[in-house]
A and B are shown apart, each in its own frame.
Chain A
């Protein structure tokens, strides 16, 4: 496995991990009033933050999988 391939696999894995963490973050915003209070998120903004976190999460996982999958298929 070449250096660029290795880097791409690592970056893809990290992106997938970030995507997963963003989903957890969205869930915490939804479920926990204390998290919302500590981040000063008002009740009107809750769904906006959840929406943005989930979109970013989905995108990260997709992008990460694309990098990891491509590296695996080439190796």
Chain B
């Protein structure tokens, strides 16, 4: 039982469909309205800009994927080059981001279905979707790849009809003059906002241990998916602005469906709804595969419990990693809090981009003799541009996204130290933190009792009682932890 048991069953077409399908998510169908308000018709420039930024890092993915074709994607690259906490942090963000992304896509799918069947229960539908795709993922990578290929081919056919119909129709009232109401700043903001629709190509790298002839197939699949995404998104945006003025997209819940209705009628709305459903399903499928492979790789290196490394006897898939990750994903989808944590997906993926470029530079320096079937052109300019442009995108993210990212980072540090640092030290640290929280709560209690914090009398009494209770509990917990250490 081990990594050699993962079967190499995915060819170029399946790997390519995994990259395209992982990127074209339900977000494409809903984000373009807000992006158009930020960038106007210059959204076309933002689309190309995002594609180029994505391409810088995807070139690094292609080289590393072909040189280190083991399960785990970014995490494996970071492990081979950076090692230690940085490699764990890469895997940690990747694992969480993919689970959040799967939950977000499943809820998105349920919402799209609810437009057609308003009576359905959204959390239940989302959970059922995750269960079905988890079972497909357990059944085998071949089945996962087949499901993905079929879904993405149907999706591409629908988008192809939308594009060609949009090019040929005479019912066009839009303008193709490039105008950005908020100038370059608006274009950059729109770029940071829509960058999520390019994320997904790295799913190929995550599944690289199951791709046939990895030295050739991985770079080809990654680069082809990048180019295909730039073409698809740019032409869709072109068609949108050919059909309607950018101002008319403001406030539209589903801008693509709105545009399709203008020149295709109800048939267009139906087609785009079906495309949205397929995009969401394909993202769920890819994300489940991605999070399970990252957990599998983290367990392989001792960061996660050994159970995550177990493969199914008959199907050779990481069944425990799929089941545990999918249980967490289903719980996220069922609570409905997924909209909040979905912001973390962007942050996690962009941090992953930076670390992948750093991994490439480090590996080129440390192991110049490594067999590299594909090499990044214009090295080191390309990975440096990848790092700079990713940092640039973080600068334009919502502040709340950064806060959630910081929270995930702290959780990662706790998980790492729980696994790697001696038990006695953890207990000592927790004891100290308990005493600190106790002292803080005591100060809060004093401030509320002495009316230093303005609030009504009833709330002040309740707050001070809670603060005193917390202070005593944490004091006891802290003393007990320290007593164990020194007792």
A-to-B contact residues, CB < 8 Å: 4, 7-8, 11-12, 14-15, 18, 27, 30-31, 47-48, 50-51, 54-56, 58-59, 62-64, 66-67, 70
Top 7 nearest A-B pairs by Cβ distance? Answer: A47-B400, A11-B476, A8-B480, A47-B403, A63-B430, A11-B477, A51-B407
From B414, B437, B484, give the contact of A58 (CB < 8 A).
B414
Chain B residues with CB under 8 Å of A55's CB are 407, 410
Does the CB pair A62–B411 fall under 8 Å? no
Instruction: Say yes or no for B385: interface residue by CB 8 A criterion.
Output: no
Question: Is B337 in the interface zone, CB < 8 Å from A?
Answer: yes
Q: Per a CB cutoff under 8 Å, which of B340, B473, B474, B484 touches A30? A: B340
A27-B335, A47-B400 known; A67 and B407 CB under 8 Å? no
| Chain A residues, CB < 8 A from B336 | 31
Closest A residue to B401 by CB, please name it: A47
Q: Please give me the residue from chain A that is nearest to B402 by CB atom.
A: A47
B437 touches A15 (CB 8 A): no
> Which of B399, B433, B437, B476 lies at the interface centre, i.e. has the most chain A CB atoms within 10 A of its CB?
B476
Q: Please, which residue of chain B has its CB at the minimum distance from the CB of A12?
A: B477
**Which residues of B, 473-487, contact A by the 8 Å Cβ criterion?**
473-474, 476-477, 480-481, 483-484
Which B residues lie within 8 Å of A50 (CB)? 340
Q: Is B185 an interface residue (CB 8 A)?
A: no
Chain B residues with CB under 8 A of A67: 477, 480-481
Contact A56 B430, beta carbon cutoff 8 Å: no
Residue pair A11, B473 in contact (C-beta under 8 Å): yes
Complex: A66 Cα to B431 Cα, angstroms: 10
**Which of A14, A18, A63 has a CB less than 8 Å from the CB of B481?**
A63
Instruction: Report if B363 contacts A (CB, 8 A).
Output: no
Decide if A47 touches B430 in the complex (CB within 8 Å).
no
Q: How far is the CB of A22 from chain B (nearest CB, A)?
A: 10
Interface size on B, residues (CB 8 A): 29
Residues of B contacting A59 in the complex (Cβ-Cβ under 8 angstroms): 430, 433, 437
Are B430 and A66 in contact (CB-based, < 8 A)?
A: yes
Q: Does B406 contact A (CB under 8 A)?
A: yes
Closest to A74 in B: B484
Q: How far is the CB of B467 from chain A (nearest CB, A)?
A: 12
- Chosen A-B contacts, 16 in total, with CB atoms closer than 8 Å, are A4-B480, A4-B483, A7-B480, A11-B480, A14-B473, A15-B473, A18-B470, A30-B337, A47-B399, A50-B340, A51-B407, A54-B407, A58-B411, A59-B433, A63-B477, A66-B481
Residues of B contacting A15 in the complex (Cβ-Cβ under 8 angstroms): 473-474, 477
- Does A63 contact B340, Cβ atoms closer than 8 Å? no
* Cα(A67)–Cα(B335), bound, Å: 29
Residue B434 at the chain A interface, CB threshold 8 Å = yes
Alpha-carbon gap, A62 to B411, bound state (A): 11
User: Residue B427 at the A interface, CB < 8 A?
Assistant: yes
Decide: B335 and A47 in contact? CB cutoff 8 A.
Answer: no
CB-defined contacts of A64 to chain B, threshold 8 Å: 477
Among B399, B426, B430, B483: residue with most chain A CB under 10 A: B430
Mark out the residues of chain B between 415 and 444 whose CB falls within 8 Å of any chain A CB in the assembled complex: 418, 426-427, 430, 433-434, 437
B146 at the interface (CB under 8 A from A): no
- A62 and B470 in contact (CB under 8 A), knowing A11-B476, A47-B404? no
Q: Closest CB-CB distance, B250 to chain A, in whole Å?
A: 21
Residues of the A chain whose Cβ atoms lie less than 8 Å from the Cβ of B407: 51, 54-55
Could you list 14 further interchain pairs (A-B, Cβ under 8 angstroms) beyond the known A18-B470, A47-B400? A11-B476, A14-B473, A18-B473, A31-B336, A59-B433, A62-B414, A62-B430, A63-B430, A63-B433, A63-B477, A63-B481, A64-B477, A67-B477, A67-B480
Q: Which residues of B contact A18 (CB under 8 A)?
A: 470, 473
* Chain A contacts for B481, CB-based, 8 A: 63, 66-67
Of A7, A47, A54, A70, most B-chain CB atoms within 10 Å: A47
Known: A55-B407, A55-B410, A63-B434. A27 touches B480 (CB 8 A): no
A14 neighbours in B (Cβ, 8 Å):
473
**Which B residues lie within 8 Å of A11 (CB)?**
473, 476-477, 480
Q: Which residue of B lies closest to A46 (CB)?
A: B400
Beta-carbon nearest neighbor of A27 in chain B: B337
